[in-house]
Structure 1
Amino acid sequence: MPIKASELILNPDGSVYHLNLKPEDIASTIIFVGDQDRVEQVSKHFDTIEFKTQKREFKTHTGTLKGKRVSVISTGIGPDNIDIVLNELDALFNIDLKTKTVKKDLTNLNIIRIGTSGSLQKEISVDSFLLTTHSLDLNGMLHAYQTNAISHPEIEEAFIKYTNWHENKSRPIIISNSKLLENKLESNNIHKGLTATAGGFYGPQGRVLRLSLQDADLNAKMDSFNFNGMRITNLEMETSAIYGLSKLLGHHAVSLNAIVANRANGTFSENPLQTIENLITYTLNKLFE
């Protein structure tokens, strides 16, 4: 049965509604960046650029690097934007947009996030790189989907108990990365760890301006949480949504972060733009070596 027009919305030119993309506009290897200005930081390294578009915060460049087709897209900030981006990207490959029916042969995408983050551990210094092995969903977006088959309840229960997680908050969900992409992008020069994904920048990440927090000690409890050697290394706003939706849709995903702040030490990078550029270069070299 065809998907209803209200569920999969297309623009008059046949492109998907938010991303403004047609199937021929996008590669199956896709780099995610949050900031639309960072798209050029990535695509300037491409050998060729064949396609550019932007609608709202979603900017896309597609080209080639070392003979392989690749796209970079800005997602904007937060798990709600990731919900839009990943569902529409999957539709471009795995739904016939003319008949609005799911294809019999599905395409598996490779999704690599290049982001910035603040470390929660003193030894993970600013200007270093971190690869997320698992992500801790604190924002609740994934509860709209059936996640039992991809979650890690043993770790979740340990975290809930350790932090005395408030019953009115969404239950935390732990999602792992794609080992295939982790093996391709890891090195001795990169940290690994569990990334917590919050639904906001201020209160949800423990920042206090004028509003009091529901749990003022949550960050400290996350800092010291340890499950069989697995610690929460950093805090950001996208990775758990990328990992969760990718797992559910059958795609490969990994998240790399340039550490521009250290929350434990109260320090911030003196040259964050260079740190981000260094991570972009590292990622492209490893991805296309």
Structure 2
Amino acid sequence: VINELDALVNIDFETRTIKEKLTSLNIIRVGTSGSLQKEIPVDSFVASTHGLGLDNLMNFYQHISNEEEKQIMHSFNTHAQLHHGISSPYITGAGMNLLKEFVDGFHSGITVTCPGFYGPQGRVLRMGLTQPQLIDSLTSFSFGQHRISNFEMETSAIYGMGKVLGHHCLSLSAIVANRISKEFSKDGAAAVENLIQKTLGIIEEKL
């Protein structure tokens, strides 16, 4: 989707060339997520300060991390000790001009993006896991004031691709499950609708 949105504003479809004057978009994802901290309850909202990818997507693209991102990533790799055959993680920060408007009524933290719903998020049915300690590693990680707040399957790709293409991105999540307290939202659709309405109100007022 990010490539398609960028192409709509930055590629001339008649000549199939990149436009000389590029347009920067504000891109806001609104979706669901699972909390990785007990104090971030179901039906609450999270604004992602960073997207930390376990999905390997950005390893296919040329991208440059800033100094803070490099430090967080080094600390995370040392802490999590993921098998190299599983993932080469990457991290990208949110668009700060957007993030600063989504503070009141929002928790904040690093959002981990996983490449699947079951094993990559520590769930077990019949197949054994190579990283059975994954949830504990994510929950216990911190770097300065940064901690991992939640996980899902989209944010790191949006942040990473958006940054490379020069767009400002923000990921907002309604928490529909808390993996630490084992609690689940009684009405996930209502939580998402509440987040949508809150987001639209902030966009109308501040953006």
Bin of the TM-score, shorter chain as denominator length: over 0.9
Match of 2:76 among 159, 162, 175: 159
Match in the other structure for 2:27 = 111
Q: TM-score, normalised by structure 1?
A: 0.69
- The amino acid across from 2:46 in the alignment is L
Over aligned residues, Cα RMSD in angstroms? 1.1
Match in the other structure for 2:92 = 175
The structure in which a higher percent of residues are helix is: 2
State the 4+ residue runs in structure 1 displaced beyond 4 angstroms.
Answer: none
Number of residue pairs aligned between Structure 1 and Structure 2: 204
Does residue 132 (structure 1) correspond to residue 18 (structure 2)? The answer is no
- The amino acid across from 1:217 in the alignment is Q
Q: Matched residues in 2 for 1:177 and 1:145: separation?
A: 18
Q: Matched residues in 2 for 1:170 and 1:163: separation?
A: 11
- What is the CA-CA distance between 1:150 and the residue it aligns to? 5.0
Match in the other structure for 2:4 = 88
- Computing the radius of gyration over CA atoms, which structure comes out larger, 1 or 2? 1
Q: Which has the higher contact order (CA 8 A, sep 6+)?
A: 2
Q: Secondary structure at the match of 2:101?
A: helix
Q: Matched residues in 2 for 1:184 and 1:123: separation?
A: 22
Aligned pairs for 1:44-55 within 5 A: none
- What is the CA-CA distance between 1:171 and the residue it aligns to? 1.5
8 Å contact 1:150–1:247 — kept in the other structure? no
Match in the other structure for 2:165 = 249
- Unaligned 5+ segments in structure 2 are none
Does residue 285 (structure 1) correspond to residue 201 (structure 2)? The answer is yes
8 Å contact 2:47–2:173 — kept in the other structure? yes
Q: Secondary structure at the match of 1:246?
A: helix
Report percent identity of matched pairs: 50
Match in the other structure for 1:34 = none
- What is the CA-CA distance between 1:230 and the residue it aligns to? 1.1
Match of 2:58 among 138, 142, 148: 142
